[in-house]
Chains A and B, each alone.
Chain A
Amino acid sequence: MNSSDRAPHPENYLTAGEPGLWSWLRTHDHKRIGILYAVGITFFFFLGGIAATLIRLNLVTPAGTLMSAETYNKAFTLHGVVMVWFFLIPSIPATLGNFLLPLMIGARDVAFPRLNLFSWYLYVGGGLFTIGALLLGGVDTGWTFYTPFSTMFSNTHVVLAVVGVFVVGFSSILTGINFIVTVHTMRAVGMHWFRLPLFVWALYATSLVMVLATPVLAMTLSLIALERLLGVGIFDPALGGDPLLFQHFFWFYSHPAVYIMILPAMGVVSELITCGVRRQIFGYRFMAWSMMAIAVIGFMVWGHHMFVAGQSMYAGIVFSILSFVVAVPSAIKVFNWVATLYKGTIDFHAPMLYALGFVGLFMLGGLTGLFLAATALDVNLTDTYFVVAHFHYIMVGGSVMAYLGGIHFWWPKITGRLYPEGPARFAAILMFFGFNFTFFPQYLLGYLGMPRRYHAYPEPFQWLNVLSSAGASILAVSYLMPLCYLGWSLWRGAPAGTNPWRATGLEWTTPSPPPVHNFPLPPVVNEGPYRYRP
């Protein structure tokens, strides 16, 4: 295989075709579309980050003097909407997933390349609506759009924001359909299901959730828009409608959406860890099936967001038990990662540092999730900063760490250049500490009783809030760093070669950056993944 390094190979995907922006905006190449997504996602990440900065700055003082209560509401709504739908949901699947899925299964492209490009345009279109809502004065409902506030009382641009999320939802539905079909029909000769890399299994499980959950959100948001525009609807208590029904529908999507965010991260981390320790993954089939189990059970736990919202006690008990059940496959994954590392020779390069950070933070976030799944504890902790800390450990500590780890790991493949290892390791470590400084105090704040979504708070909570804001500034630096050195490496990085990590996987058998249709010759697979030889 290595002889292909020297052989003249077809033009790579970055330079092929006519030069210029226009050829990118019309491209059907999954690799270019992945990069288009990366550009959009990075923009929205920093937009959401600006809102987060405003929130943390406001909370430095107990009186919350930076913003009025109304502005504060708009800031956390913007942060939530942008980070959930325009960053986290598409982050790993639409960028790394788009880029890697066909490469990993030995295909020339995804099954529906035009649809893939259309998904990106939907993403951008949805983003424009959301930015429009922002420019016209913002939305103050929180990312959850709870009724009746969103339908009857809020006088901000709810409809615009809802339309934006509706549109971007179809982007993720179409991506999901594309990925599922691709995995089913486009695998290379010999690439049977249990030879798929775990990242592909993760994308498959994620796509199932995207396809089956997102339509529910789309229709629910349509009903919100109708209710606002016409003043009538099934969530309107004045007519006998039920706002709680909205919460059921909303969380039927939004809890599985959490798994849309974390499953791809688990896939990335599995790749990073096996390469960093140069070993077969411990319990491959368990890893694959546990992701499928998470995807399935994840559909049956939404009521744990509503323990104190007025659902019946018995529903609460059932949802509580099911929420404990979904922790089992998640725990299997953590144990298997640790078992893979056990007594291994670990190469602490930057992707591995991100992966290890992921495992630690995900564990803490997952375990505090069990606290919240226990109904008795949840009554005390609902709507406090404990919840905020919990889901940031999963989504930021988990997904964002894995996303950045994956970006570093596949950067040589994507760009054909090596990133500088020193700054990358420094940023990864800084991120781990900055993250914990930011969010661990929030566990304490929540445990002490500070409610979320308030722009002011009593004096005794101040020192923990100051600590959290100080941590956030460290975190911000660690997010800006990769932007600088990865950008630098685009021009100055050393050429990567086909397989700089000496990793397994079909994506490492083709030149970096890969040619337009990925492989000079159609690959044939004759062994399972992660056949590392120490």
Chain B
Amino acid sequence: MSEASATLVAHRAAQFDDAAQQRESSVLGMWLFIATEVLFFGVLFAGYTFSRVRFPQAFADGGARTDLLLGSIETGILLLSSCLAALAVRDVRFGACRAAGRLLWGTAMLGVAFLVLHGVEYHAEYGEALVPGIRYHPSGHPQPAMMIFFCLYYAITGFHSLHVAIGVALLSRMAREASRGAFSADYFAPVEVTALYWHLVDIVWIFVYPLVYLVGRST
């Protein structure tokens, strides 16, 4: 008992009265941060909507040039990784800290796999000269506004990949600490908050996937 409360006090920052207050603060802080991220990406989605309404054909052409197979696999990877993150939070809440560590490593590795596959996509698009501002002279005779599609595509997926990379770093750190048994049923807010962030990364992609890979193919 005294040992458990000693570790609790060690984790508690001086400004908080108790562990519950600290956990509540961390989680609320992350939700607010997620709200800012929604607006951050919201600008790009608004720009996408606005431009798509103006240039439906150019956007359909652009969407058709993306890699549906890789995009779908990436979607599956992120969904699976989010599931692992959620399981990790459940485990750590039940005190199974080392099991949570393994799940968090899995989540981080799936994040890396996502980044690798996206790199493959970028590489192929560079080969097809579809990178505006760097190498852009697409085959055929697409509408000039297709360039706007690819600008948005790179802005959205680029910022998203940056978030994935940050998430991988955070998850790896949590995984390492969890493997050492740093968390307990009374102290697991860092894992919970990291998982929340990872779900945000996932949810942004849930919007990116249909907008970039699917919608253009329906016409």
B126 interfacial by beta-carbon distance below 8 Å: no
Given B13, B28, B40, which contacts A216 in the complex, CB threshold below 8 Å? B40
Report chain A residues within 8 Å CB of B112.
Answer: none
The CA of A192 and the CA of B3, in the complex, are separated in Å by 35
Given B15, B133, B136, which contacts A109 in the complex, CB threshold below 8 Å? B15
- Indicate with 1 or 0, residue by residue over B64-81, a CB within 8 angstroms of chain A CB atoms: 000000000000000000
Given B15, B28, B32, B50, which contacts A108 in the complex, CB threshold below 8 Å? B15
A214 touches B36 (CB 8 A): yes
Report chain B residues within 8 Å CB of A218.
Answer: 40
Report chain B residues within 8 Å CB of A223.
Answer: 43, 47, 155
B152 interfacial by beta-carbon distance below 8 Å: yes
Of A69-77, A236-244, A269-277, the stretch lying at the interface with chain B is A236-244
How many chain A residues touch B (CB < 8 A): the figure is 43
A220 interfacial by beta-carbon distance below 8 Å: yes
Known contacts: A219-B44, A226-B155, A230-B134. The answer to whether A211 contacts B24 by CB under 8 A is no
Given A107, A219, A229, A245, which contacts B41 in the complex, CB threshold below 8 Å? A219
Known contacts: A111-B29, A216-B43. The answer to whether A185 contacts B24 by CB under 8 A is yes
Given A178, A249, A522, which contacts B43 in the complex, CB threshold below 8 Å? A249
B145 interfacial by beta-carbon distance below 8 Å: yes
- Do most interface residues of chain A lie in helix, strand or loop, or is the interface mixed? helix
B15 touches A113 (CB 8 A): yes
B35 interfacial by beta-carbon distance below 8 Å: yes
Given A110, A215, A231, which contacts B37 in the complex, CB threshold below 8 Å? A215
The CA of A240 and the CA of B62, in the complex, are separated in Å by 15
B25 touches A211 (CB 8 A): no
Please report which residues of chain A, range 100-131, place their CB below 8 angstroms from some CB of chain B when the two chains form the complex.
Answer: 102, 107-113
B151 interfacial by beta-carbon distance below 8 Å: yes
Known contacts: A109-B14, A185-B24. The answer to whether A234 contacts B151 by CB under 8 A is yes
The CA of A522 and the CA of B37, in the complex, are separated in Å by 36
How many chain B residues touch A (CB < 8 A): the figure is 40
A181 interfacial by beta-carbon distance below 8 Å: yes
Please report which residues of chain A, range 212-262, place their CB below 8 angstroms from some CB of chain B when the two chains form the complex.
Answer: 212-216, 218-220, 222-223, 226, 229-234, 239-242, 245, 249
Please report which residues of chain B, range 1-36, place their CB below 8 angstroms from some CB of chain A when the two chains form the complex.
Answer: 13-17, 21, 24-25, 28-29, 32-33, 35-36
B137 interfacial by beta-carbon distance below 8 Å: no
Smallest beta-carbon distance A404→chain B, Å? 30
B122 interfacial by beta-carbon distance below 8 Å: no
A177 interfacial by beta-carbon distance below 8 Å: yes
The CA of A278 and the CA of B148, in the complex, are separated in Å by 61
Report chain B residues within 8 Å CB of A177.
Answer: 29, 32-33, 36
The CA of A230 and the CA of B39, in the complex, are separated in Å by 24
A401 interfacial by beta-carbon distance below 8 Å: no
Report chain A residues within 8 Å CB of B55.
Answer: 240
Report chain B residues within 8 Å CB of A229.
Answer: 133
The CA of A125 and the CA of B46, in the complex, are separated in Å by 30
The CA of A430 and the CA of B54, in the complex, are separated in Å by 55
Nearest CB to that of B48 among chain A residues?
A: A234
The CA of A176 and the CA of B32, in the complex, are separated in Å by 9
Smallest beta-carbon distance A101→chain B, Å? 12
The CA of A245 and the CA of B45, in the complex, are separated in Å by 12
Known contacts: A215-B39, A216-B39. The answer to whether A241 contacts B148 by CB under 8 A is yes
Report chain A residues within 8 Å CB of B41.
Answer: 219
Known contacts: A107-B15, A185-B28, A240-B148. The answer to whether A215 contacts B132 by CB under 8 A is no
On A, residues with C-beta under 8 Å from B are 102, 107-113, 173, 176-178, 180-181, 184-186, 211-216, 218-220, 222-223, 226, 229-234, 239-242, 245, 249, 517, 522
> Which 7 residue pairs across A and B have the least CB separation, nearest first?
A230-B133, A109-B15, A215-B40, A219-B43, A215-B39, A232-B132, A240-B145
Besides A177-B32, A184-B25, 6 other A-B contacts (C-beta < 8 A): A177-B36, A181-B32, A184-B24, A212-B36, A230-B134, A240-B148
